[in-house]
Every structure is written in C-alpha cells, then in structure tokens.
Structure 1
Amino acid sequence: MGQARPPEPADDKEEDMLPIKNTSMLQNTGDPLVRGPLLRMANHALAALNSERLIPSLVRLEGDILHVGDTVWNLADYRRVLVVGAGKAGNHMARSLEGILGARISRGLVIVKQLEPGDELAHIELALGGHPYPNESGRRATQRILDLLGGCASGDLVVSLISGGSSALMNCPAEGISVDEESRLTELLLTAGASILEINTVRRHVSAVNGGRLAQRVSASGARMLNLILSDRVGDTAVGTPRVPVAYTGTQIGLDPTTFLDAWNILERYRLLAAAPNSVLEHLRRGPQLTETPKSPLPGVSNFVIQGLPDACAAAVDAARAEHLPVHVLTSGLEGDSRQAGMFLAAVAREVRDRGEPFAPPCVLVAAGETTVRLNGPAGSGGPSQELALSFAREVAGLAGVGIAAIETEGTDGPTTLAGAVTDGTTLERCRAARVDILAALDGHDCCPALTAVGDQLETGNTGTNLCDLNIIYIA
C-alpha cells in the first residue's frame, strides 16, 4: 500500500453514473496531487451507501413469502400492504422497495426533501416536506399518512421507510401548536447550538407522530409494522449485515427514552423559555397529565436498521483500500462547531504531512459525524460541510498534497443544493485571485458563494443515503 492511482478523467457518460455529478470539474480544479484520489474515494463510498443497492440485499419476495433478513412474512395472510415513511433518502428507498413488491403495495406515501426526475412511482407517492424546518406541505402529507393508517386493522402490513430528516419532514404538531410555531421552535434550538439529539427530544414532545407515536398507532390497531431504517444517529455501531430485527429508539417508529421534563429542561438550558411559543410551553407544562411517548416494546412492530453512521466510515475505508492507500478512521462521532472541526482536521493533516505523526504519509483519514453551524447573527448561504471544508482550506493554505472531501451524504448541505465541497492547499490562493474573502465567508456563514466562485463545490443530488457528514482527508 502506498501510492494512489493517477487521475483518470471521466467522460460525460461515465460522469452521469457517478454520485458526484461535477466530478470532472472538481478533478480539474485545485491540487492535482489530491483531487483524483479524493474524488474516486468519495464516489466509491457514496455508491456503496446507496439504499437502492442495499435494500435488495436484505429484502426479497419469493411467491407470497417476503424475506427480510432471516425473518419472513407470508403476504397471503395480509389483506393490504401499506407503505409510509419520511426522510432524505426516501426517494431511493421507495423506488427500491417498489421494485421488489410492485403491485403487492396497496397504497403508499413517503415524505421527502426534494424530488428529481425518475421519482414518479406507480404504487408509492412521494410528497414534499420541509427540512430542517417543518412546513405546511409536510404537515398535510403527514395528515394523509395518518388518514391512511386510520383504517388499519389486524390483517394489514405496514412497511415504513425511515431515514435522516424524518422528524422535520413528517410533522404533525400536538393539538394547540401550529406548524409555524413548531418551525420557530426548531429555529430557536438550531440557532442556540442545541445538538440534534436535544432538538429531537423537544420535537418528540410537541408532536403527534414523533417519538414512536406513529408505530404506537399502528400497533394499537392490530396491524403488523415492518420498519426499514437508515440511522444517522451519532454513537451507533456499524450495522454490517442486518439479518434480524433490533430494538430501536427515536423517530416516528422507535421507542423514546426521553420525557416531557427532558424537553422542558433543554429549553431552560439554552435560555429559550422566554422566546419559545406560548403554545409549546403550555403543552410541555401539561406533560405530566398527557400520555408519554412509548417506552416499552410495541406488539407487532419489527425494526431493521439497514445502515448506521459508522457504515459511512466503513465505506470510505473500502474506498481507500481500493486506492491501495493506508487508511485510519479518526472518529464516527465528530460533533461540535463545523468551523472548529475543520481547523482540528487540518491540524491533524498538517501533523501527518510535516512530522509523520500519528500516521506516515501517504494516507487517508476518515471522520464522520454531525457538526453544526452556530449562528450568532445574520447568515448567508452555506451548510456544515461547506463551512468545515472552507475552514480546513484556510488552515492548510499553501500546502501541496493535502485535501479534503467534506460531504453531507444525503446530497444537500444545510439549506443549499450543494452536498459539500472538495478543498485543498490551493483553495485560499484561488479565492484571493477571485477576490473572495475566506474569512468574511466563514464569519458570515456564507461559504456556498465562496466555494462556487472557485469551483470547489460538490454536487450530487439525491444520493440514496443519509448518514450525516463524511469527511475524507488525503495526505499525499
């Protein structure tokens, strides 16, 4: 293991098949020592994580027998098969499941973040919701899911497709709370720097569907529920081959260990009690008189986790080994401020390049997780992966043979249409030549225009996965 393969420019037809749609442009920009290997590894990892490829390896139909891992369902025993779900990987998950079940699906509705050509399905409807902020479109689609499930009874099989972003996309505020108020609550928590776990703890206790309440409804009806899950939770272990059902917490279909009191304490911790909508505070105050989210296993509900966050690291490791490069996973739990994370990863890369510590170059470093942009005033256009990549570029400015692919694995980083960026030691100089002030872009959380101005933006569209942020660093 040692030297990466030289760049192999992709023709237009080949590039159309790659997850990163602007591979050729990125490969011909910046430091040629790192661009080719970085892009091959990033494309390799994203392709391996696509749920449209993974679901058929777990789910198959033989006559009336539906196999999910080592578990079977005889569809002849069910009067209807209903498909529901939400998440940023929902497009690919729905397309994959429909390819397996086809006309066996009686009705289906999955809420997604964005629609693309090829998303028109015969038996599962895809509807738009809001992310990261819940919106009215998502609420209407969620109500349609509740109406569909309202007729469930013994003899029905409900298959749910859940991936990251589902808590915002499938939104139905508790009685007395409006969508605008739930959206405002989410904005307050994000701006305050709350973690995604803290945000979801609050969301679960102001929702009629989150925190396992959707599965609770199905279970109470007597129907069976089969959940296929892409889990983007920091701290999970690698899934590997998901052959058997597992216990799961969170989202609309898992158990919830958190409480109304936990939700109140989070608002108090971030000093948001004065700013939070009154309807939210009143609902949380009444928590002791309300039904808590489910804490015990629900009859008839089976959960299969297809992917977890460490699987993103595993895919990147496989990609590096395909390049014949030594590879080291720094962490699958990178959290905190995106800009600071970029500075930290750059410091490690410089140590490797300059001193051969803690690893000798050439090598690949991998870090996955979910960093956040902490707003302290008006913000421009950007996202966590873009901010991390630009911060990294500033710290490695002028160094040859050091680069990063910072990827939001579902394909949209923050509120932008970019998936992240590829930056290296040439980025700062190219920004100066284009009269782009990197420091101003970082301070103003306006990284998208800066990266686009120098051609370092990474574009994928829907990727078929959503395992938070994947950072691949190459030191030549």
Structure 2
Amino acid sequence: MNKIKNYDDLIRLGDSESRSVVLTIADRVLTRLDAYHRIKAITRLDGDILTIGTRKWDLSSKRNVYLVGAGKACNHMAMAIDEILGDRLTRGIAIVKIAEDSDRFHRTEVHVGGHPIPDETGHRAALEILSLADQAGPEDLFIAVISGGSSALMSCPIDGITLQDEMDATDVLLKSGAGIYEINAIRRHISQTNGGRLAQRIARSGAELIGFGISDAVGNPPSGDITRPYADYASTPIGPDKTTLADARAVIANYDLADRLPRSIVDYLESAGEEDETPKAFPDNTYFLLNTLPDSCLYAKEVAEQMGLPAMIVSSFLEGESSDAGTFFASIAREAQASGNPVAPPCVLIAAGETTTHIPDNSIIGGHGGPGHELVTGFALTAAKTHGAAMISLDSEGTDGTTTAAGGLCDSTSLARADQCGVNLHEALRTHATHEALSAIGDAVFTGNTGTNLCDLNILYIPARPA
C-alpha cells in the first residue's frame, strides 16, 4: 500500500478478503491521482524554456516568477513546481491544510491555514499573496496551484466583513444542508480572493498567469488530455466564477439563513450591485486541469477490472445525506446477492460526489466525523444482512470532515464488532460522533495528504453469496 497508512490494521478485521479488494482499488486510484506526479509528467524546465504540456514560455523575458497556491492538495502541487523551477522561482507562498514531514520546498513559504473553517494564519497568507499581485508588473509571471479547500484556506473577506464573520458564516453554511455550489455562491461573493478575485488582481497588474487546478465540482466531464490548456476552467481564486449574486441570495432564502448568518454578510449580499459581481472570464490566462471528479470513478473501474472483477460506476454525481447514501448502497448489495441486480456478484460498485450532513443544532454534536465516516456507518447498519459486503468511503484529499482520518471502511461484520465493543453505531450517527465509533472498532482509514482533492470516493465490493 502506498497511500493508506493503516492498511495492515484494517485488513486484520472482519471480512479480510472483501476489505482487501476495496483497499487495493482505493490505494491504486489515489496513487494515480497524485498531482505531484501529474504535474511532473507534463512540466519541465530546459535552460530558460519552461514547457507545460503543449505550451512553452521563455523565462528569460520574465523579471519575477511567483508561485502561489492554496488547497488540500496544495502540498504536492506546490512541491512539484518548486522542484521544477528551482532557483528560477523568485518566491512561493502556499497555504495548506496539513503540513507533512515529507514536504520539501526550495523557495516556497508554507502556511497551515484553517479548513473547513478559515483562520487567521490563512488570512495573513492570503494578504501576502494579494500584496504580491498588487506589486507585480507586466514582466512578471504567476504560476498558481489550486485545489479544493482554497475557499477556506485562502480566506480574505472584503472590507466591512470581518474574518470572524466569515468563520461564523462558514460554520452555519456547512451545517445547513446546502450543497457545495450553493455554499460557494455566498463565500465567493464576500471574498477578496475567491471566485476569481485573485486572478482579477493579477490581471490588473499586467502580469501573466498560468494556473494548475484540480476540479472537485460535481458535474464536470473527465479531464481528458491534461497536456492541453483547458478552455472551460472555472471557479477557485484564479478562474472565472459561474455563481452569481442572485444565487447567493437564493441560498439565504432557500435554507432560511437570514437570521443565522452574520448580519454584515446578509446586508452586503442584499445591497450588492452589478459592480460587486465576481469576474466571469479571463481569456488571457492559461489553465491546465489535472483531474476532475469523474476521473476517480474511471480509474477505480479500470483497477477493479484489472483485478478480474466486473465493475459498475453508479454515479459521479452523488449528493444528499451521507448516512442515507450508505443505507442505499447496503440495500443494493443485498439486492445483488439475492437477485443478481443491478449486477451479479462478485462485483464492484463505484460512486463519487459530495454527500453532506445536516446538523441543525450544534448542541447535539457528541464527537467528530465527516461525510465519509457517516456514509459507511449508515452502510454498516444494513450491510450486516449481506455476507462479505465491504465499503470504503474516503475524502480523497485525506481528511474527512473534522477528523484527521480520510474516512472509513465498514463491512458486514462491523455492526457485530461494534456491539461487542459496546459501541452504538445508531447513537454515533445521531450525535455525529462516527469518528470515535469507527476508531474504536478499527474501521477508520488514515492516509495523510494524498496529493489530490476530488471529493468523496466510494467503493463497494459485493462477493457472491456463499452456498
């Protein structure tokens, strides 16, 4: 195993053969998605000539070359650029969620920001990046590396809205049941960096911008040929924003947030005019999209078939309540063993997307967890009826929700093992303390930073029913 750190512990429990299948597939997919290797595969520096895919730049014509980045996969992305450019890099600033002992940088400053809730460290680093943009000129080049999580990590609210306001708003939004696109409609319109505002500042300076991105947006097509610039790049701090002020106002109305969000944010969004809209186009920028959400499903299907297992992609649009999604997959496993529908076992079912957890009142929270934890816990409650079924649900960047675990792996024995340990999985779901529950029975999965960020990867293995 290359990415899953506690593989040996996970494989000793429950249905070992079934757990081995989903662990092997997940690990190989995460390895293939690592942005460090993907950037290195298409980027090189020969003397003064920087080649990225099908494009070339003569760095002898550039006064300064800056690296800026933020996101949960930023460690690996920034390391690749820092290593390739070496002394050609004037200065780098990267804002990451977790710094690893294995991180190595030459001329890049690394700041550990807050995620999913922004913090002061990320805010200060964002101000440093904006200062670089404001001081730049037409002879300068910015290379930006952006992945999911940049909204929180590179937090920099507009004048009139405090960092605390943005922190409080993020907490409310994440627990409101709103989808990530809806949450971002608000966050992008109150930010100096998000929703293309960083690219806007760089464009005003006259400097050139090359962007590397990983898209975790539900609905994007597969990445395809990553050596060619991506024409439809959108969102994040460096790309045009597809959300609108009208979208942001609709989220407040649809989720009854007017009295829950900070008053400064509600008042601003209600009064903002056309001049306050986020930028919608950057025709002069060059973007390379390293991966999109469906890639994880396609790679998982390839790996499963290489292992001799029929595989079906159920959806790369998976959304909704996490625990309900887990119950659904357990029901599919039971149906497959009973009738051979929708595919006869042994087989692998794959899904990706971004499920959410609705928490209307913080007082009910009794521990820690995340969507992946809750999905497999919901799975475990029903999967006990399906011999050998095993499911892994991972936040592909390596940290699920408020935990340091990537997610969880449950099988048909998890409920019984929980009962033997005195762990009530129903109670864990009710109190959103699934991390403590899964850790107690050995079903939490740890990876550390993976080098990618494609939302949640869910892999279900259904063996044939024994005679």
- After TM superposition, the score normalised by the length of structure 1 is 0.94
**Greater shift after overlay, 158-167 or 65-74?**
65-74
Residue 412 of structure 2 aligns to which amino acid in structure 1?
Answer: G
Are residues 1:182 and 2:166 paired?
A: yes
SS of 2:248's equivalent? helix
CA distance in 2, matches of 1:268, 1:179: 23
- After superposition, what is the alpha-carbon deviation per residue over 1:152-192, rounded to whole angstroms, capped at 9, x for unaligned? 11111100000000111101101011111011111111221
Match of 1:213 in 2: 197
How far off its partner does 1:32 sit?
Answer: 2.2
Are residues 1:416 and 2:400 paired?
A: no
Match of 2:305 in 1: 321
Aligned pairs, number: 459
CA distance in 2, matches of 1:45, 1:471: 11
C-alpha contact 1:230 1:306 (8 A) present in aligned 2: yes
Match of 1:442 in 2: 429
Match of 1:137 in 2: 121
CA distance in 2, matches of 1:134, 1:290: 26
Match of 2:293 in 1: 309
Are residues 1:298 and 2:298 paired?
A: no
C-alpha contact 1:33 1:400 (8 A) present in aligned 2: no
How far off its partner does 1:278 sit?
Answer: 1.8
Match of 1:87 in 2: 71
CA distance in 1, matches of 2:283, 2:219: 27
CA distance in 2, matches of 1:281, 1:21: 44
Match of 2:134 in 1: 150
Residue 330 of structure 1 aligns to which amino acid in structure 2?
Answer: V
Are residues 1:121 and 2:108 paired?
A: no
Are residues 1:388 and 2:388 paired?
A: no
How far off its partner does 1:387 sit?
Answer: 0.4
Residue 457 of structure 1 aligns to which amino acid in structure 2?
Answer: A
Alignment of 1:45-444 (within 5 A): 45-245=29-229, 246-288=231-273, 290-295=275-280, 297-377=281-361, 378-379=364-365, 380-444=367-431
CA distance in 2, matches of 1:77, 1:413: 43
CA distance in 2, matches of 1:428, 1:123: 50
CA distance in 2, matches of 1:416, 1:99: 30
- After superposition, what is the alpha-carbon deviation per residue over 1:12-50, rounded to whole angstroms, capped at 9, x for unaligned? xxx5xx200000110111112302212111111111111
Match of 1:11 in 2: none
CA distance in 2, matches of 1:25, 1:42: 16
**Greater shift after overlay, 331-340 or 247-256?**
247-256
Identity, in percent, stands at 44
Residue 404 of structure 1 aligns to which amino acid in structure 2?
Answer: M
CA distance in 2, matches of 1:33, 1:89: 31
RMSD: 1.2
- After TM superposition, the score normalised by the length of structure 2 is 0.96
How far off its partner does 1:275 sit?
Answer: 2.2
CA distance in 1, matches of 2:11, 2:239: 42
C-alpha contact 2:83 2:105 (8 A) present in aligned 1: no
How far off its partner does 1:244 sit?
Answer: 2.1
Unaligned segments of structure 2, at least 5 residues = none
How far off its partner does 1:299 sit?
Answer: 4.8
SS of 1:132's equivalent? coil
Alignment of 1:460-475 (within 5 A): 460-475=447-462
C-alpha contact 1:398 1:426 (8 A) present in aligned 2: no
Match of 1:3 in 2: none
SS of 1:192's equivalent? coil
CA distance in 2, matches of 1:298, 1:366: 35
| Segments ≥4 residues shifted beyond 4 Å | none
CA distance in 1, matches of 2:306, 2:85: 34
Unaligned segments of structure 1, at least 5 residues = 1-14
